[in-house]
Amino acid sequence: MTILAGAGAPRARDWRPAWPCPVGSVWAHWRKGAGDPSYRIEAGRHWRGIRTPIGPATLAVRPLDAAGVIRAEAWGPGADWVLDRLPAMLGADDDPSGFDPRHPQVAQALKQHPHWRLGRGGLVWQALLPAVIEQKVTGQEAFGGFRRLVHFYGERAPGPGAGLRLWVPPGPDVVRLIPSWQWLKLHIDPARSRTLMHCARLADALERTLAVDSDEADRRLRSLPGIGVWTSAEVRFRAHGDADAVSFGDYHIPNEIGHALLGHDLDDDALAELLEPYRPHRHRVQALLGTRRWRERHGPRLAPRTHLSAE
């Protein structure tokens, strides 16, 4: 790691991955819509506002250059934390060996994205916060709720992040003090806000799930009120790097995978049966097939709800 001198200078790291690491596709599932205030792409670099266990950080990553090097710079109290974990965050700990694509469509998706890896974010709260907001609502409503929450209760990212209008999402200590009427102004209903408030009180215990195996992490997450199969999976593949975490209960995923592999819709039971031979890489199948649209959506769509209080 190279430390740059000078007042306000960033911490910096040059990392040479063992494979042609595609930063954008590895981190795609961290970006919550084009207007995500905690993620920006500027001048060819990926900028993220991240809340680490030791404080906020701005992380700027330049994708692989011609020499095979990824350049990262970070500002703020959490700068060293994010730089130390950069390889894991970009998929260095992911092991795709033994993955058999089996189906021609999975093989084709793998051929198109041979270098994709599943990153281990290492931050349960940062993964759980947007996942709970996304429960049982449209993407438009989920992204809007997350954006409002970050703008109202987050903080400007350190260093140059502030000038880029980059934000760090609020931590559990802030979220657990948000009053009930403010959640409605954020367009986050009582069911989801109660879940977030409860999880915020247990945030330290949630972070400890990073030290246990996938089954135990799933059990601990799902022991909390409001955290089911879908939310646990969404957290585990982002924070834990769990390549077997399938988002059962999703409105679209069973049908998308069903159309990709079988040509028709599926329910969760049928999806579980279809993906069973892919253990322990079931999320890898979900992620690879998610890089393409397998059918045109002409049917009815969920409409955003209009009964919540306006901003």
pLDDT over threshold 80, residue 74: yes
Residue 291: its pLDDT value, please? 77
Fold of 2-91: Ribosomal Protein S8; Chain: A, domain 1 (3.30.1370)
Domain map (residue ranges) of the chain: 2-91, 124-289
Same-fold call for 2-91 versus 124-289: no
Architecture of the domain delimited by 124-289: Orthogonal Bundle (1.10)
List pLDDT tens digits, range 134-145.
998 888 899 999
What mean pLDDT is predicted for residues 250-278?
A: 96
Residue 254: its pLDDT value, please? 95
Residue 298: its pLDDT value, please? 42
What mean pLDDT is predicted for residues 125-141?
A: 94
What mean pLDDT is predicted for residues 224-249?
A: 97
List pLDDT tens digits, range 18-72.
999 999 999 999 999 989 999 999 999 999 999 999 999 999 999 999 999 999 9
- Nearest alpha carbon to residue 221 among 201, 251, 199, 249: 199
pLDDT over threshold 80, residue 161: yes
Contact, 200 vs 172, CB < 8 A? yes
31 contacts: CB under 8 Å, gap ≥ 6: 39
Residue 293: its pLDDT value, please? 61
pLDDT over threshold 90, residue 310: no
pLDDT over threshold 60, residue 311: no
What tokens were used for 27?
């981190």
Residue 251: its pLDDT value, please? 87
92 vs 307, residue with greater confidence: 92
Contact, 175 vs 197, CB < 8 A? yes
pTM value is 0.90
Cα gap 222→218, rounded to integer Å: 6
